[in-house]
């Protein structure tokens, strides 16, 4: 399970989002929830996946993401660890995956084709559409850096 809280601004509107992602023993997403506020707009997303690769957002099936194994929450890099945990790569190896991508701030579920290439012990090259970034994970496999977009800071 991955849980987190994101505080961010989009177009100068503050957002506070709590999320939880549950996986099976093979690191395939089974349930993901997002709750919070974007400005004064209440956000509540309930995402489910079954063992056949079908996905639902708030009770409505989303066939365009059928076959995806992972959810990707656009507002946090935390979910990028899911495919890396499920299918560890050897140095130099690349894998392509399709994720069920929850967009932000629209909160729609759609397909996102991604690739991960392991550069070294803790570094990966990530690509989706026209976006590319170098990812750095810590010794536990948790995201430390997501390109220039996000950097973990240790709390003291």
User: Which residue did the predictor score with more confidence, 88 or 21?
Assistant: 21
Q: Which helix H or strand E contains 85, and what residues bound it?
A: helix 81-86
Whether the CB-CB separation of 81 and 93 falls below 8 Å is answered with no
Residue that is written with structure tokens 């996000």 in the block: 150
pLDDT at 156: 47
Given this model, what pLDDT does residue 128 score?
A: 95
Encode pLDDT of 1-51 as tens digits. 999 999 999 999 999 999 999 999 999 999 999 999 999 999 999 999 998
pTM (two decimals): 0.92
């Amino acid at each position: 399970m991955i849980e987190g809280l994101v505080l961010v601004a989009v177009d100068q509107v503050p957002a506070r989002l709590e999320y939880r992602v549950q996986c099976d023993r093979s690191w395939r997403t089974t349930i993901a929830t997002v709750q919070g506020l974007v400005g004064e707009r209440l956000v509540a997303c309930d995402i489910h996946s079954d063992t056949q690769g079908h996905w639902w957002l708030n009770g409505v099936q989303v066939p365009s993401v059928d076959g995806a194994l992972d959810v990707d929450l656009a507002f946090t890099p935390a979910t990028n660890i899911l495919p890396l945990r499920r299918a560890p790569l050897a140095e130099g190896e690349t894998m392509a995956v399709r994720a069920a991508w929850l967009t932000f701030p629209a909160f729609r579920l759609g397909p996102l084709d991604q690739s991960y290439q392991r550069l070294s012990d803790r570094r990966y090259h990530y690509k989706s559409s026209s976006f590319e970034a170098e990812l750095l994970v810590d010794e536990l496999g948790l995201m430390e850096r997501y390109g220039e977009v996000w950097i973990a800071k240790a709390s003291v």
